Amino acid sequence: MSDYQTEALRTEAPISEGVQERIVANSRAMHGIVGICTEAGELADAYKKHVFYGRALDAANVREEIGDICWYLAILCDTLGTTIEAEMDRNNAKLRKRYPERFTEQAANVRDLEAERSVLEGDSNG
């Protein structure tokens, strides 16, 4: 085993009973998360082939990957007791807080993270 691998592995957290319990308790969420990552990679690959290899964009495949991502998002939202629609609304509220009129570089670089967090947590004062 390489020196790097030996050194890196010494910092690995053990798979304790508590970790195992959290894995089981969060297995549906992890299914959604891993699925989203997988489908996002397939979506990126479709654009990679189009942009860098000059292939025609396979729009039907792109739409399929978007749909697959939505499917996994539905699982993840369900595990949190929310809906995709509620999270889209929450995201829009956060963006309205960040960019009250429209996007500006100033607003992107100087953000009121506490106000945004308040919106994300559902505080009506946010």
Residue 125 has pLDDT above 70, yes or no: no
Encoding tokens for residue 5? 């691998």
Domain residue spans of the chain: 15-81, 83-126
Mean pLDDT, the chain, rounded, equals: 94
Query: What is the Cα–Cα distance from 96 to 114, expressed in whole angstroms?
Result: 14
Residue 104 has pLDDT above 80, yes or no: yes
Residue pair 90/39 in contact by the 8 Å Cβ criterion: no
pLDDT tens-digit map of 58-68? 999 999 999 99
Residue pair 125/97 in contact by the 8 Å Cβ criterion: no
The whole-number average pLDDT for the span 32-39 is 98
Looking at residue 39, its pLDDT comes to: 98
Looking at residue 124, its pLDDT comes to: 44
Residue 126 has pLDDT above 50, yes or no: no
